[in-house]
Structure 1
Amino acid sequence: MTESGVGATRRRVVGALASASALAATGMGTALAQPARPGPPSTITTPPRSFAPDAPPTTYFTDPDVLSVDPSFDAYAQPNSAIQRLWTGALWMEGPAWNAQGRYLLWSDIPNNRQLRWIEDNGRVSVFRAPSNNSNGNTFDFQGRQISCEHLTRRVVRYELDGSVTVLADTFEGKRLNSPNDAVAHPDGSVWFTDPPYGGQLYEGAPDAAGGPSNGGGRLNPRLGQAAGIGAARRELPTNVYRLDPSGRLDRVLTEEQVPDPNGLAFSPDYKRLYVASTGKGPGDTGSGGKSDIHVFDVGADNRLSNGTVFSDCVVDGVKCGPDGLRCDVDGNLWASSNAGRAVGYNGVTVWNPQGKLIGRIRLPEVCGNLCFGGPKRNRLFMAGSQSLYAVFVNTQGAGPG
């Protein structure tokens, strides 16, 4: 090869390398070489933050992941308060509830079949109750008694002040409940709760007996790993919302046609409105299931619900922020947990004013299943992420106990 030929070849190689470098710098080379779909983002803020106990500070006035969508939310974002990860190590967390007298937070780790407790004075987390019958939602009534919704036993129970347990509801019109999910107490002594089918699965309870909606083929054995007597029930009822009267009478207040797959629920501060989250299709559902939206109803003097409307479709920036747990503050704003799946920056909490306008968001690095207000002044928002417990102080108070 002549010297000129060698030079030409050398120039072509250098040129090719330069082009490859340019493509790599713009990301085009990687896209061409690896056409695979990119994974979800792994950070929330820029620069990336860490939620570890020894992480560097993130809050220089307000937390960068507490977002005011509307200026009205500025009044509720507490300056100099950072989102903290208090604990991690669960499989799937739900049902946080604050005990004002004991100054502790309890919640459910459903697949691990236990309830956990975080004590405020030293931040210690311990097992509060195990087994918990795969409990989901928890709350405290106006007498300070704990109420729990149990997936495995398909019932709602109350833990009395003397340590005994009272079964509040396990059947309706002679048929077993599905898997009570969330409960709220009313000042008149009643307990309102939702009954979707999510406990009828291996991970969070027990499937139906063979032939039931969540075990139609009978291939699953619902008795495996369970105590004697568990695994014989099958789904018999639609997904309803119930009111348990202090007399013990159980009334259906919402039907599946009104709110399919009802999940979280909350009263307005004056108890004249009831908010109900409708989630997605559950195990054994034959209909379309919920649309991951929030419904609201007027509560009459006779405890009948009327004027039901869709309060929010929970779509933010084109992203579906599926609601679950709901709580109101004393001004009537609705704080809703957000499950946006792989759209990481939209997981956490959405905040809506009483007219249904989005005013604020709290971003977490994992899906948020449920939330509650707590702390001695009830001005701390506790958020049950998928595996972790988070908290942030806010400039308002939660309405109602638990």
Structure 2
Amino acid sequence: MSEGHHSTHDDAIPSPAQLSRRRLIQAAGATAFAAAAAPALAQAPANRPSPPTTITTPPRDFSRRGAPTTYFWDPDVIAVDPSFNNLAQPNAAIQRLWTGGLWLEGPAWNAQGRYLVWSDIPRNRQMRWIEDDGNVSVFRMPSGYSNGNSFDFQGRQLSCEHLNRRVVRYELDGSATVLADSFEGKKLNSPNDIVAHPDGSYWFTDPPYGGQLYEGAPDAAGGPSNASGKINPRLGQPPGIGLAKRELPTNVYRLDPGGRLDLVIREEQVPDPNGLCFSPDHKKLYVASTGKGPGDTGPGGKGDIHVFDVGADNKPTNGKLFSDCMIDGINCGPDGLRCDVEGNLWASSNAGRNVGYNGVTVFNPAGKVIGRIRLPEVCGNICFGGPKRNRLFMAASQSIYALYLATQGAGPA
């Protein structure tokens, strides 16, 4: 769609025919004017060009060189249900903040430092975007091929490392602490996403997606993700990497403040668990079940979202399917999850080559789809941030996108 399409205004100069008609209407009186003008006004929108979106040809240009979005609402912010109008910001447009990554995951917002950190997994680094000047720089390298990042209630960064099969915490004094790297004497698979609980515990998922060359290191010869032994997982890696084999199912764990690691959701309940988050009151836990991972021998995840009740004993119960994430017959595969303060669930969407379905899907607490955000790239993970926590940051394949909202994210990012 050409840039000239953005220049249409409601106050265009009328044609001579319109002027003649106007004189006749004025002569006929105010009642006749209203009756004649209404059909003309109703037809006016049909004569206006449609705004450019991710599904136009050519598609919308999200770069700094692209024409600014002057349509309210942004054409790629879709209210499926009227309730979404109270969450989105009418005069805010989707912005691409940065591009140039390989596969981006784990955006997390540091409230005190006012910066966004995320993982560029294949490059084994974490990146940082600073809010005041928009500068992007390498934040941590190597990062252990980190995936999910988060900040706890004390402002400490938590990271899930694919390469080292562990969860780490970066302390306020600059040191790093290994929080978990094994369960019952067996190495973890590749921790993926992590969230903090007000009681001081950390909950994290452990699917097998790090067991591949692109995002970590495959198993040693004979392991599930390297059964033939033809891949050498030690190439390009530091000493000690590439010697482990997958030993555990894909589970969800809770790390007690005292250091005890408990298995809280088994693979049979949620296969290949990926993103997770709590409801604002921490009484519900949402877990995304993504597709089959490297080395999986079972059916794997189906690209859906599950929800559990969390009681005072910190044990998830009453697990059930929250959503199959099917829209128009297309699986909008979930990954990262976050809740807003109203309890709505925001889920990243990976619909593959189905243009117009990648981005973010928004559900109300009952599991009904109420809104969608369309991006030109597969979206892997999201978080709320900004000084007011009213900005949604989206890690989408090679780029970072942002959108101001009329609501706030719940809890630390």
Q: TM-score, normalised by structure 1?
A: 0.89
Quick one: which of 108, 111, 131 aligns to 1:120? 131
Report the equivalent of 2:293.
282
Query: How far did residue 52 of structure 1 move?
Result: 1.1
Per-residue CA deviation, residues 14-65 of structure 1 (Å, 9 max, x unaligned), is: xxxxxxxxxxxxxxxxxxxxxxxxxxxx942477421011321223221110
Report the equivalent of 1:6.
none
Taking the aligned partners of 1:400 and 1:344, their CA distance within structure 2 comes to 32
Per-residue CA deviation, residues 179-236 of structure 1 (Å, 9 max, x unaligned), is: 0000000000000000000000000000000110000111010100000111111100
Q: Report SS of the residue matched to 1:324.
A: coil
CA contact (8 A) 1:210 1:218 kept: yes
Residue 309 (structure 1) aligned with residue 320 (structure 2)? yes
Q: Report SS of the residue matched to 1:107.
A: strand
The size of the alignment, in residue pairs, is: 361
Query: How far did residue 79 of structure 1 move?
Result: 1.5
Quick one: which of 205, 214, 233 aligns to 2:244? 233
CA contact (8 A) 2:147 2:160 kept: yes
CA contact (8 A) 1:178 1:236 kept: yes
Quick one: which of 351, 355, 363 aligns to 2:374? 363
Taking the aligned partners of 1:364 and 1:380, their CA distance within structure 2 comes to 16
Taking the aligned partners of 1:253 and 1:59, their CA distance within structure 2 comes to 48
Per-residue CA deviation, residues 350-396 of structure 1 (Å, 9 max, x unaligned), is: 00000000000000000000000000000000000000000000110
CA contact (8 A) 1:68 1:74 kept: yes
Q: Report SS of the residue matched to 1:85.
A: strand
Residue 92 (structure 1) aligned with residue 92 (structure 2)? no
Taking the aligned partners of 1:379 and 1:58, their CA distance within structure 2 comes to 20
Q: Report SS of the residue matched to 1:346.
A: coil
Partner letter of residue 358 of structure 1? V
Q: Report SS of the residue matched to 1:72.
A: helix
Partner letter of residue 77 of structure 1? A
Partner letter of residue 198 of structure 1? Y
Partner letter of residue 295 of structure 2? G
Residue 139 (structure 1) aligned with residue 143 (structure 2)? no
CA contact (8 A) 1:59 1:81 kept: no
Partner letter of residue 101 of structure 2? A
Residue 268 (structure 1) aligned with residue 271 (structure 2)? no
CA contact (8 A) 1:49 1:58 kept: no
- Gaps of at least 5 residues in structure 2 are 1-52
Q: Report SS of the residue matched to 1:178.
A: coil
Report the equivalent of 2:352.
341
Report the equivalent of 2:87.
76
Per-residue CA deviation, residues 294-318 of structure 1 (Å, 9 max, x unaligned), is: 0000001100111101000000011
CA contact (8 A) 2:116 2:130 kept: yes
CA contact (8 A) 1:50 1:56 kept: yes
Quick one: which of 226, 239, 244 aligns to 1:215? 226
CA contact (8 A) 2:54 2:374 kept: no
Per-residue CA deviation, residues 68-119 of structure 1 (Å, 9 max, x unaligned), is: 0001101111021000000000000000000000000000000000000000
Per-residue CA deviation, residues 259-306 of structure 1 (Å, 9 max, x unaligned), is: 000000000000000000000100000000000000000001100111
Quick one: which of 39, 58, 64 aligns to 2:69? 58
Report the equivalent of 1:153.
164
- Gaps of at least 5 residues in structure 1 are 1-41
RMSD (Å), alpha carbons:
1.0
Report the equivalent of 1:39.
none
Quick one: which of 380, 391, 394 aligns to 1:383? 394
Quick one: which of 150, 171, 180 aligns to 2:182? 171
Taking the aligned partners of 1:45 and 1:328, their CA distance within structure 2 comes to 31
Runs of 4+ in 1 over 4 A off after TM superposition: none
Taking the aligned partners of 1:300 and 1:354, their CA distance within structure 2 comes to 18
Residue 110 (structure 1) aligned with residue 121 (structure 2)? yes
Report the equivalent of 1:205.
216
CA contact (8 A) 2:54 2:375 kept: no
CA contact (8 A) 1:266 1:326 kept: yes
Per-residue CA deviation, residues 130-181 of structure 1 (Å, 9 max, x unaligned), is: 0001000000000000000000000000000000000000000000000000
Correspondences of 1:322-333 after superposition (within 5 Å): 322-333=333-344
CA contact (8 A) 1:45 1:65 kept: no
